[in-house]
Structures are given as C-alpha cells and as structure tokens.
C-alpha cells in the first residue's frame, strides 16, 4: 500500500482556522468587543427624502433615564470639509435621502438609547423628492469614468452600420431592481479615544480604508487611528469602505468621553449603508446567418445619490465576453433623492450579465442556434481594447458544463416538456469577473526553525482569507502550515487592499509570498553562518512588482447551467439543479473556493427569483427593510448546486497563479435561471426578480 501524504499547503482543502471560535461564539465581532464603561448609540433617521432640518428638540430624549447626549448638526463635532460627503454626518441641515441620520442618541444602555431616539423631535422643512430611475429621465448624464475606473463609453468599429446589416437581430431592454447585501452582521462599531488616539473595532472589509477615512475626517495623522476587524460577519461590498456608523461612533465617543458602541438597526442598514442600484439596460445584438456576432450594443442606466456619483459599470461585461467587430457600450447615471448606492457582489458584471446573457439566449432562439454553440462560436481573442487575455477558458467551461449537465440533444422548443403540473426547462449563461490585484504589504518573522509569525492586514469576511493566507505563507517558507501563526484584521499591521473586488487573496497573498520568501532566504543565509533564525523579520510591499506587470486582460471565466420547474397555474419557479464550471487560475484551497462559488451561485438564484428592494416613490423609503420583507434564498430554494473548477495555469497573475473567486459565481446565474424559465414556459422574463406575480 502506498502511503498518501496529505497536502496541507496551497491546493489543500483546509477547513477554516477560526471555525471553532465561530461555532462556539468566541469569535468577537465589532460590537461584541468588551470595553469597560461603554455607552450605546442609536441613530435617528430622517423620515423624508429631501429637505432641511431646522432644529432638533433634544429635551424629551435627554429626559429619558440613562441618556447621556443627543448629537445633531447643531452641536456635533466638526469634520474636515474634504471628507466623503456620505461620511460627513451631522454637519449640515441638508437632507438628501430618506433615512439619512439626522441625530444620534447616546445612553448607558442600548434600550435607553433606543427610547431616547424615539423621543427626539425633529423640526424640518420638506420638499418633493425625485426617487424613480427612468430611462428617459432628464437628469441622466454620461460620466467619463464608471465604477472600477473604466471609461463610461467604449465603442469599436461602427455599431449602427453593423447592426443595420445584421441578418439576425435582438433589441431588448432589461430591468434589474435595487438589491441589498443583508450581511448577517449589521454595520457596527465600538469606538474609543485614548490619549488623542482613536481606536475602533469596525465591521469593515478594509481597516486600511477606514483608518484613512477617519484620519481625514477627524484631522489626525493616520498612525493615531487604529482599526480592528478580526472577524467580520459578511460584507458583499456593503462594508467595502468606511460607512456612517464608524464616524458616528467615533464622534459620539469623543463627545461623551467614554467608549461607544453602535450597531445599526437592520432598517438603518437598508437606508444608509448601501445597496445595488436598479438598472435599465438596452442590449442590441446582431449576427450573420452563421451565428457570428457582427454588432453588440449595451447601454446601461443607473441611479446615484445627491451626495456622491457612483455609476454601476453594467455594460463593461460586454467588452470582455465576446469577440465582435462593431461594439457600442455606454453608461448613464442620474442623481436622485435616494441613498448612495454602492458595490454589491460583482458590481457591474452581475446586473450586466443578466442583460447580455439573456440577450444571447434571445439571439440563439431568433437564429435557431444552440445557446452553448453560439457562445463558443463568438469567443473573444482579446478584450474590446485589444489586450490579449492572460488566460481564458470560457469555451472549456461551456463544453465541460454541457457534458456534465447532459445538454446534448436538448430540444430547444420552449414550453413543451411536462412532468405532472410542472413545465421543465434548462438554460445556460456565461460568467466572467476581472482578476484584480492591488499593492499590499505583509511582514514575516521567524520565532524558531518551526515557528513563524506572518501578518497581513487582510479582512476575513467569512471567506476563509486567513486560512488560505496561512497556506500561501507555509508554501513560501517551505514549512507545514501548522508552523505559521497568521494575523489579519488590524490596520497597524500595514496597508493592504479591501476584501472586495475579488482581489483579496491575490493581493495579500503576493505580499505574504514575498515576505516569506525573503525570510526563507535570510534564514538559509544565516544558517550557513551558524546564526540562529530567532527574531529575523522581513517586510514586503508589492507596489513595484505590480507596476512592472505587462498589460494583459486578466479575467476569470465560467459557465452556468440551470434546470427549472415552473408551475404554469401559480407561476412558482423551482430551481432543480444549478451547475457552475469555472476556470480561475490556481485554486489555493478547493474547500473555501467551492464555498465562495456555491455561495455566490445561491445569491444568484436569490437575485433571479426573490431579491428586490422596493422603494416607496413618494417617501423615498425602502419599505422592504427587514428579512421578512426582503426575501433571500434559503436551503429549500437551492436543492442542488454543483461546482466544478477546471485546472488553469496562468503565469501572468501573481506568484500563486490565482484569480479571485468571491464574485465570479454570481455573474450570469440570474440569466441562466431566466433562460431556463423561457425554455420551460416560452415567457421571456426581462425584469428581475421572476416572482410568481411577475410570471403570470
């Protein structure tokens, strides 16, 4: 018998290091942090979308037993003017969206703070609000750059001529609703001041970004601000930057002179901590008789707030997925009296792929082509700007998926398969997400020959980041992961990018690899000179390494196949099976990678069938502001999801050869479901979510 030595470094299916701490309740989240003498804060939201707060009558709140202070714009500490307008809380009488925080009550208990918040009397002048995104809104404009730093408009060839001459055409408009992240842990902060230093425990995807924002707003040198985020209960983009909660808590702690805890109530999370903007997207596809795309047009409209411009880059996916000589992609945004939208899992690509990948299915139907074949025949060689891909295995994902799903021999006719009362259908969609890497720092220290400390300011938002970083460190040091203590979640470690944009592992892992390899070289050198390794330490910064990389289009790809059942009498849609086949470079940890992809596909099913944030147009209020009204998929909604990851070598990424997997799995899922619903019923659903009411 051969002895199998289990791999424990890169490539091993290691369970999460903090799993036991989490299931035993020992993992401390931002608001759990025990601090002596803590006070508690409760926010008071504006009950109107547009207007001015004349004055706040704090008397009734201050009369509540235990209330220490009521902050509002008339008495709150001043914040630096150049700070992010969304973070400059309680600075002006202006209200630009419903739910904007206009006062904060601080008390000795959370109950007193809440009672105080209900007693505050706001005297305000309100004005009619403009809260509805429409494709013909007079305020729409084309920003030069959209989220992610992409040009708002990118055209190639001559779209109008190409589309006009195409033999098969699709021209369709798709709608996606506002959606919320609903991370399990609400936005929360524990803050205190210590000899002029500000210390916060914050629910954030980036303690570096929060530190920098607080330093700006409170006019402190960054080294006097420390941000801890050892455990974070989900983010999905909503915790990607500093949010009002952390500024309010820090402000309140300064005013009352003691630590302050602020855990945002769920309704306040819906109002003020960010959401995915609704989109209206027109997609035009033109193909020749053989099913080759000759023209692709993708125009997206989305909304932003009065406070900040944020433009969802929904048309960018159409610059990557297919090769086409005539391309027109553009974005328009309108600033409304609504809360600031933000990144939500796969911003841009996720809503964009719903539109593009639905349109590809419509094109396949119009030209009588197989939807898998159509995608393979239009695979791109470069991105729309002519950059070669560092690696691209979309065709392999489609072929492998089709084989495993049993796609061959599929009858394309819609509405013809029955099983009892159910209509059956299947659908496919492609997926892609950029493989981003940003500069990071990391440090490594040798304690002894088999004991190392590695620190990198990663945020582990439930993904298993610290686990994979320890695997990466162990490989670079040439030791077993058990020899490595890994520290994350502390701004004092050193600058590192956000746990967002699927860039975490790639960015932090590069710095960890560099620090550990340097340490290994120094130890080996020292050993030759008979110097023990104790105390040898190395710092790494990957800024220069990243700047030296050649210009490639770096993206992960995948294909999703979906089987649905639809009850034509009730409009109920059930996803029987979802298969995702992905190529995302080298997989550091198959267990945590699978969990990321599976979780994102689940969120994609949720987007397809349930999720929508409904805004009351007059009040500008998201009325679906708790989990009984904002529906997300649960286990019963996703009976079978299969994930397969193909082996992919890519020497142009980072020393690990990895691409991010956090967002890839949600891109295209909703289109795969909608395409399957069309196959089952013959009904083309161009608006999400596909609820029973919408389908009938």
| Cα 40-44-50 angle, rounded to 5 deg | 155
259 near ligand MOS, judged by CB under 6 A: no
> Residue 340 or residue 347: which is nearer to ligand MOS going by CB?
347
**Of residues 130 and 179, the one with the C-beta less far from ligand MOS:** 179
The residue at minimum Cβ distance from ligand MOS is 237
Site for ligand MOS in 655-674 (CB under 6 A): 663
Alpha carbon 254 to chain centroid, angstroms: 32
* Contacts of residue 7, Cβ cutoff 8 Å, sequence gap at least 6: none
Q: What CA dihedral angle connects 557, 563, 566 and 571, to 10 degrees? A: -20
Contact segment (CB under 6 A) with ligand MOS among 49-57, 123-131, 326-334, 344-352 equals: 344-352
Q: Is the preceding omega at residue 689 within 30 degrees of 0, hence cis?
A: yes
Interface map 201-230 toward ligand MOS (x if CB under 6 A)? ----x-------------------------
Identify which range of 45-53, 333-341, 343-351, 416-424 contacts ligand MOS by CB under 6 A: 343-351
Residue 50 or 239: which CB sits closer to ligand MOS?
239
Distance CA 538, CA 535 (A): 10
Stretch that binds ligand MOS, among 142-150, 340-348, 484-492, 559-567 (CB under 6 A): 340-348
Whichever of 436 and 472 has its CB closer to ligand MOS, that residue is: 436
Q: Is 345 in the site for ligand MOS (CB under 6 A)?
A: yes
Mark 476-515 with x for binding to ligand MOS (rule: CB under 6 A) and - for no binding.
------------------------xx--------------
Distance, in Å, from the CA atom of 30 to the CA atom of 249, rounded to the nearest integer, reads 12
Per-residue contact flags (x/-) with ligand MOS for residues 605 to 644, judged by CB under 6 A: ----------------------------------------
Bridge partners of 644?
A: 581
Instruction: Please identify which residue in 9, 291, 347, 352 interacts with ligand MOS, judged by CB under 6 A.
Output: 347
How many other CB atoms are found less than 10 A from the CB of residue 85?
16
- By the rule CB under 6 A, 274 interacts with ligand MOS: no
Q: Which range, of 225-233, 339-347, 532-540, 609-617, touches ligand MOS by CB under 6 A?
A: 339-347
Question: Of 276 and 594, which has the nearer Cβ to ligand MOS?
Answer: 276
CB of 239 to ligand MOS, least distance (A): 8
Question: Which one, 181 or 375, has the nearer CB to ligand MOS?
Answer: 181
Q: Which of 587, 646, 597, 600 is nearest to 393 (CA)?
A: 646
For 156-186, the DSSP string reads: ES-HHHHHHH-SEEEEEEEEE--B----SSP
- Report the run of H or E that residue 673 belongs to, with start and end: helix 669-681
Q: What are phi and psi of 130, to 5 degrees?
A: -110, 105
Give me the least distance between CB of 499 and ligand MOS, in Å please: 7
The secondary structure element, H or E, covering residue 246 is helix 244-256
Least distance (Å) between residue 603 CB and ligand MOS: 11
Contact positions with ligand MOS (CB under 6 A) in 372-431:
none
Q: Which of 322, 343, 354, 407 binds ligand MOS (CB under 6 A)?
A: 343
Distance, C-alpha 253 to centroid of its chain = 30
Q: Is 51 in the site for ligand MOS (CB under 6 A)?
A: no
Q: How many CB atoms lie within 10 A of CB 94?
A: 14
Which residues on neighbouring strands pair with residue 442, listed in sequence order? 540
Shortest distance, CB of residue 438 to ligand MOS, whole angstroms?
12
- Parallel, antiparallel, or unpaired for β 555-566 and 422-434? antiparallel
Q: What does the alpha-carbon distance between residue 51 and residue 49 come to, in Å, rounded to a whole number?
A: 7
**Chain CA centroid to CA 132, Å:** 24
Which are the catalytic amino acids? Answer: 663
Nearer to ligand MOS (CB atom), residue 367 or residue 495: 495
Q: Is residue 240 part of the contact set for ligand MOS (CB under 6 A)?
A: yes
- As measured in angstroms, the least distance from the Cβ of 500 to ligand MOS is 3
Tokens read off for 641: 């999801």
* Cβ at position 7, least distance to ligand MOS in Å: 29
Which of 444, 587, 582, 457 has the alpha carbon at shortest distance from 517?
444
# chain residues binding ligand MOS, by CB under 6 A? 12
- Report residue 622 as tokens: 């998201």
Binding segment (CB under 6 A) for ligand MOS, from list 89-97, 233-241, 254-262, 589-597: 233-241
Tell how strand 279-287 and strand 197-202 pair up. Answer: unpaired
Q: Which is nearer to ligand MOS, 71 or 209 (CB)?
A: 209
Measure the CA–CA gap between 619 and 616, rounded to whole angstroms: 6
Nearest-approach distance from CB 405 to ligand MOS, in angstroms = 28
Taking the least distance from each CB to ligand MOS, the nearer of 436 and 456 is 436
β-strands 326-336, 154-156: how paired? antiparallel
Between CA 167 and CA 370, with CA 348 as vertex, the angle to 5 degrees is 35
> Could you give the CA distance from residue 11 to residue 164 in angstroms, rounded to a whole number?
50
168-207 footprint of ligand MOS as x/- string (CB under 6 A): -------------------------------------x--
Nearest distance, CB of residue 56 and ligand MOS, angstroms: 34
| Position 235 contacts ligand MOS (CB under 6 A) | yes
293-305 vs 279-287, strand pairing mode = antiparallel
Nearer to ligand MOS, 112 or 238 (CB): 238
C-alpha separations of 66 from 40, 110, 111, 466 in Å: 10, 10, 9, 41
Q: Give 251 or 461: the residue with its C-beta nearer to ligand MOS.
A: 461
**219/82 Cα distance (integer angstroms):** 10
Q: Say whether residue 344 binds ligand MOS (CB under 6 A).
A: yes
Distance of closest approach, residue 502 Cβ to ligand MOS, in angstroms: 7
> Taking the complex as a whole, how short is the minimal distance between the CB of residue 237 and ligand MOS, in angstroms?
3
- For the chain, helix, strand, coil in percent to 5 are 30, 25, 45
Convert residues 280-319 into a mask of x (bound to ligand MOS by CB under 6 A) and - (unbound).
Answer: ----------------------------------------
Q: Which residues bind ligand MOS (CB under 6 A)?
A: 205, 235-237, 240, 343-345, 347, 500-501, 663
């Amino acid at each position: 018998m051969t002895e199998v030595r289990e791999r424990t470094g890169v490539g091993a299916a290691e369970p999460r290091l903090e799993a036991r701490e989490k299931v035993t309740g020992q993992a401390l989240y931002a608001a759990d942090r025990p601090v002596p003498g803590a006070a508690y804060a409760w926010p008071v939201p504006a009950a109107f979308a547009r207007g001015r707060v004349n004055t706040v009558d704090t008397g009734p709140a201050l009369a509540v037993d235990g209330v220490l202070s009521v902050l509002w714009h008339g008495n709150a500490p001043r914040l630096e003017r150049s700070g992010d307008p969304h973070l400059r809380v309680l600075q002006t009488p202006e209200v630009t969206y419903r739910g904007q925080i206009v006062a904060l009550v601080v008390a000795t208990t959370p109950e007193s703070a809440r009672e105080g918040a209900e007693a505050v009397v706001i005297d305000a002048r309100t004005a009619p609000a403009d809260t509805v995104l429409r494709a013909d809104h007079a305020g729409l404009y084309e920003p030069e750059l959209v989220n992610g730093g992409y040009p708002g408009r990118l055209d190639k060839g001559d779209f109008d001529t190409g589309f006009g001459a195409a033999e098969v055409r699709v021209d369709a408009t798709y709608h996606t609703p506002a959606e919320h992240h609903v991370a399990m842990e609400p936005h929360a902060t524990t803050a205190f001041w210590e000899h002029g230093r500000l210390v916060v425990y914050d629910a954030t995807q980036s303690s570096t970004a929060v530190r920098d924002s607080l330093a700006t707003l409170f006019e402190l040198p960054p080294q006097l601000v420390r941000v801890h985020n050892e455990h974070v209960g989900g983010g999905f983009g909503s915790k990607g930057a500093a949010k009002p909660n952390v500024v309010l808590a820090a402000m309140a702690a300064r005013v009352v002179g003691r630590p302050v805890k602020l855990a945002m109530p769920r309704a306040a999370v819906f109002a003020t901590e960010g959401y995915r903007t609704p989109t209206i997207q027109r997609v035009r596809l033109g193909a020749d008789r053989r099913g080759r795309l000759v023209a692709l047009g993708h125009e997206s409209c989305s909304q932003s707030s009065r406070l900040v411009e944020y433009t969802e880059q929904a048309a960018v996916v159409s610059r990557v997925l297919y090769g086409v000589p005539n391309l027109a992609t553009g974005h328009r945004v309108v600033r409304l009296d609504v809360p600031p939208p933000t990144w939500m899992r796969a911003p841009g690509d996720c809503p964009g792929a719903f539109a593009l990948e639905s349109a590809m299915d419509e094109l396949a139907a119009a030209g009588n082509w197989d939807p898998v074949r159509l995608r393979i025949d239009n695979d791109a060689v470069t991105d729309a700007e002519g950059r070669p891909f560092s690696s691209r295995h979309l065709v392999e994902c489609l072929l492998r998926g089709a084989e495993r799903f049993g796609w061959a021999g599929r009858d394309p006719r819609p509405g013809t398969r029955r099983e009892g009362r159910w209509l059956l259908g299947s659908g496919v969609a492609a997926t892609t997400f950029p493989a981003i890497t940003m500069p990071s720092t990391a440090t490594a220290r040798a304690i002894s020959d088999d004991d190392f400390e590695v620190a990198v300011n990663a945020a582990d938002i439930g993904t298993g980041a610290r686990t994979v970083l320890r695997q990466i460190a162990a490989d670079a040091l040439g030791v077993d992961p058990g020899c490595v203590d890994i520290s994350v979640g502390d701004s004092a470690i050193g600058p590192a990018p956000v746990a967002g944009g699927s860039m975490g592992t790639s960015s932090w892992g590069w710095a960890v690899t560099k620090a550990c390899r340097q340490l290994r070289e120094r130890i080996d050198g020292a050993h030759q000179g008979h110097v023990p390794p104790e105390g040898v330490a190395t710092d790494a910064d990957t800024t220069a390494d990243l700047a030296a990389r050649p210009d490639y289009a770096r993206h992960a790809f995948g294909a999703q196949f979906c089987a649905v059942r639809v009850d034509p009498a009730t409009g109920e849609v059930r996803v029987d099976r979802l298969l995702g086949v992905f190529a995302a470079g080298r997989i550091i940890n198959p267990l945590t990678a699978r969990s990321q992809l599976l979780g994102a596909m689940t969120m994609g099913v949720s987007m397809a069938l349930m999720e929508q944030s409904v805004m009351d147009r007059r009040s500008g209020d998201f009325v679906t502001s708790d989990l009984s009204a904002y529906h997300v998929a649960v286990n019963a909604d996703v009976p079978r999801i299969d994930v397969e990851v193909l082996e992919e070598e890519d020497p142009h990424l980072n020393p690990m050869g990895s691409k991010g997997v956090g967002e890839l799995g949600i891109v295209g899922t909703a289109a795969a479901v909608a395409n399957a619903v069309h196959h089952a019923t013959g009904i083309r659903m161009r608006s999400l979510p596909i609820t029973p009411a919408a389908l009938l």
